[in-house]
Structure 1
Amino acid sequence: MTGNADLDRFLTAYARSLGISVHSLGDDGLPVLTVEFSSIIEGRPGAFHGGATSGLLETAGYAALRAILQREDRDPQLKPINITVQFLSAGKRKKTFAQGRITRLGRRNANITVEAWQDDRNRPIATAVMNILMADR
């Protein structure tokens, strides 16, 4: 599903500048994002930059939240309360995927967990926990 304009609505200009795209929708209907390794996101030679990894995780978390809110016909302004990233292993010169999962969705707050992986979804290279305030527009 790469390049699907309907799914790309989940992406910000920042995400597009990193080369992040929507790969597909998971079985749960939440977007799975991907980014190809390139010099734009390279940190130390041959490895993903930590900021690029964090950007992918954050984008996947917001994409999951927006997908759920859209289903509920809600359009609040999203404001980060905090985002915690755990780097588990270095991202290699490979395509990297990420998907968020809503762990709690309230009226004003959302809690999201996100995983990024390369070859094996069961072996994430990084995870994130996000707490988001949803303010009325």
Structure 2
Amino acid sequence: MTDGLRDLVAACRQGSEPYQALIDRVPYAAFLGIEITARGEELTFVLPKRDTNLGNPTLPALHGGAVAGFMEQAAIIFLLLEMGEPRVPKTIDFTMDYLRAGHFRDTFAECRVTRLGRRVANVHISAWQVRRPEPIAIARAHFLLSEESATEPPE
């Protein structure tokens, strides 16, 4: 990670820089229009209602790929903010369950780290539109945090 991005993540974690500055450094997150709202230490990611995220104009409904991309980007940004020493996570796998129709309106997501190791992190992501207990999609993702070889002895 470049020192500029490392400094930006640190500034966001300390509250001296708005989260949007970090979003703007991630091209796909910026394209989707992702926003972050913070209440205390809880972060909520927002996928705003935008024509570029529309999949079926007849219903109208969000594009499934936009929802999945939103959730994956939210997890990556969440990990960057959660880690003590920021490293850009690389997706190992991403498992998605679509539970309800994603209507053409703002969509919200929250992330929860289920395991944060030295090399791998597991994250659970939940996305909803109207009520948090009624998610439209949930996902589980595994991320590589380190390029170290798995055969290297631990430090």
Query: Which of structure 1's runs of 4+ aligned residues deviate more than 6 A?
Result: none
2:125 maps to 1:114: yes
Shift of 1:115: 0.5
What's the C-alpha RMSD, in Å, of the aligned pairs? Answer: 1.9
- Percent identity of equivalent pairs: 33
Residues 77-115 of structure 1: CA deviation (Å, up to 9, x unaligned): 321110111111111121110111100011111000001
| Higher helix fraction (1 or 2) | 2
Residues 42-71 of structure 1: CA deviation (Å, up to 9, x unaligned): 1112000001000110111112211111xx
Cα distance in 1, alignment partners of residues 47 and 133 from structure 2: 18
Q: Which has the higher contact order (CA 8 A, sep 6+)?
A: 1
| Counterpart in the other structure of 1:134 | 145
Q: TM-score, normalised by structure 2?
A: 0.76
Cα distance in 1, alignment partners of residues 88 and 110 from structure 2: 21
Q: Which runs of 5+ in 1 are unaligned?
A: none
Cα distance in 2, alignment partners of residues 68 and 40 from structure 1: 29
2:106 maps to 1:92: no
Which amino acid counterpart does residue 60 of structure 1 have in structure 2?
A
SS at match of 1:122: coil
Q: Give the number of equivalent residue pairs.
A: 129
Q: Which runs of 5+ in 2 are unaligned?
A: 1-15, 149-155
Q: How does 1:1-137 map to 2 (within 5 A)?
A: 6-11=18-23, 12-22=26-36, 24-27=37-40, 29-45=41-57, 46-69=60-83, 72=84, 74-135=85-146
